[in-house]
Structure 1
Amino acid sequence: MKVMTIYAHPADTITNCGGTLARHAEAGDEVVALIITHGGRIHANRYAEEWRKDDPDEAITTAGIDDIAAHKWDELRRAADIIGVHRVIGLDTDDRVASLQEHVVDLVAEQIALERPDVIICDYPLNPVVASNTHTVATTTVLAALGRTGTYLRNLDGRAEFHVKQVFFTSLPVFAADGLSLFGVRNDVFVDITPVVGRKVAAMDCFDSQGYSGLFARKLIESNNGEFGRAAGVNFAEAFYRMRNETHDLLPVTAAAVAEDPLTRHLRYSEVDLRATHP
């Protein structure tokens, strides 16, 4: 299987689904990450914080957008190597984008058509009219690009149409696991990342310029992936929301659900002390 992530900024792929990608890479699947913007202005902590010092480092305070973006891309490449991402593709568009842009849709559609992934992972679009949220703009771009790849015609475009099998959204703003109380809106797929959580920690530690390394990486994984793990009955999990329905020959009850013991599940998903294991 080929997995392709499409996110707005360099760090997004790792923070949202780095553990899942690590598991797919270990299983022998091909993993490709497409980053839409250069990400130079997003979470530029290294540069903003330097200006607050009494004697700031001139090499940092004089860095231009190309220097800042290059530093972030170096962080991403190191993180991608840890996770097992086979290829990182950058479109290098402006990260101040606030609306759907036709030329960016074309760029994303072209990469989807070239890579022909089985599944795509991207952010849940919070609200298409929230122009200040570049993650939503990025996913809106992805959805428009998917529509475009589906209408390719060799006569007109020199390539055949392409339809991805499934789209998985991350960052759905709903954490609870009870579908009855949420009127059907909830994450519907959880991936156990406990076996590779150390790799996700190490990958997040690469993003020092954003302030993601150290305690923040461990706090984020403990709180976010730990809560998803609680819902899934494991120590750490990443959660997804499927865009399309899936068809099965029989009702899909997973091996994890069959093995579930409601009496002791709270003990099982509390076995790992992340900060002690990965200080």
Structure 2
Amino acid sequence: MKILTIYAHPADTITNCGGTLARHAAAGDEVVALILTHGGRIHANRYAEEWRKDAPDEAVAGADLDEIVAHKKGELDRAAEIVGIRNLITLDLDDTMAVMREEVVDEVAAVIARERPEIVICDYPQNPVMTANTHTVATMTALAALGRAATHLKNLDGRAETNVRQVFFTSVPVAVTDGLSLYGVRNDLFVDITPVVGTKLAAMDCFESQGYAGLFARKLIESSNGEFGRAAGVNFAEAYSRLYNETHDLLPLTEAALRADPLTRHVEYSRIDVRASFPPP
């Protein structure tokens, strides 16, 4: 199986679904990551903080956009290797992109058609008209590209249509465990990343220039993946919302649901202390 992630910025793939990708890569699945922007301006802690010093390091404070982007790409390369992403594709758009553009939709559609993934993972679009949010623009671009790739005709476009089997959205801004709390808007699938939480932390530690390394990575895992884990009944999880309905031959019940003990799950999902088990570098 092939998974294609489509995100706005270099670190997004790792922070949103790095644990899931690590588990799929370990299982032998192919993982491809498409990053739309170069990330040179987003979370530029390394450079902004240097300017605040009384005697800033000129090599850092004087870095131009090419140097900043190259540094971030190096961080992304190292993180991708840790997680098991086989192929990194970067479009290097400006990371202040605020609107959908036809030519970008075409570029993304071309990647989808070339890679032909079964699964696409991207951000949950907070609001399709909220163009101040680059993550939303990236996802709306991805959805438009999926539609475009599905309409390719070999005699017109030189390639056949590409139909992705499922789209999983990450970062739904709620962590409820039932279908009624927010009128059906919820995460409806969780992946247990407890076995690879150290892998995800190591990948996040690569993004030192963003201030992600060390305590921030552990705080994010504890608060976000820990809360999703609580909802899922495991120590750490990544949460998803599915775009398409799924069809089963029989009513599905997961192995995790069969294993779960409602009486003791609150004890089981509290066993790992990430700061003790994986101390900051």
Query: What range is the shorter-chain TM-score in?
Result: over 0.9
CA distance in structure 1 between the partners assigned to 2:58 and 2:259 by the alignment: 58
1:231-250 to 2 correspondences below 5 Å: 231-250=231-250
Q: Supply the distance in 2 between the matched residues of 1:273 and 1:174 (Cα, whole angstroms).
A: 24
Instruction: Find the aligned partners of 1:80 and 1:166 in 2 and give their Cα distance.
Output: 23
1:127-206 aligned at under 5 Å gives the runs 127-206=127-206
* Separation in 1, partners of 2:69, 2:201: 22
Secondary structure of the residue that 2:239 maps to in structure 1?
A: strand
Deviations 1:63-114 (A, max 9, x none): 1111111100100100011111111110111111100001111110000100
Instruction: Output aligned runs, 1:1-279, within 5 Å.
Output: 1-279=1-279
Deviation at 1:162, TM superposition (A): 0.7
How big is the shift at 1:133?
Answer: 0.5
Output the aligned Cα RMSD. 0.7
Q: Percent identity?
A: 73
Unaligned runs of 5+ in 1: none
- State the TM-score, normalized to the length of structure 1: 0.99
- How far apart are the structure 2 equivalents of 1:80 and 1:47? 23
Matches of 1:189 and 1:4, distance apart in 2? 18
Paired with 2:228 and 2:25, the residues of 1 have a C-alpha distance of: 21
Aligned partner letter, 1:168: F
Runs of 4+ in 1 over 2 A off after TM superposition: none
User: How far apart are residue 6 of structure 1 and its match?
Assistant: 0.5
The runs of 5 or more residues in structure 2 that have no matched partner are none
Structure 1 residue 180 displacement after superposition? 2.4
Find the aligned partners of 2:82 and 2:239 in 1 and give their Cα distance: 21
**Deviation for aligned residue 1:18:** 0.2
Deviations, residues 7-50 of structure 1 (Å, cap 9, x unaligned)? 00000000000000000001000001010110100001101111
Rounded to whole Å, the distance in 1 between the matches of 2:186 and 2:70 is: 37
What TM-score, normalized by structure 2, do the two folds share? 0.98
Distance 1:78 1:7 in 2: 17
* Count of residue pairs the alignment pairs up: 279
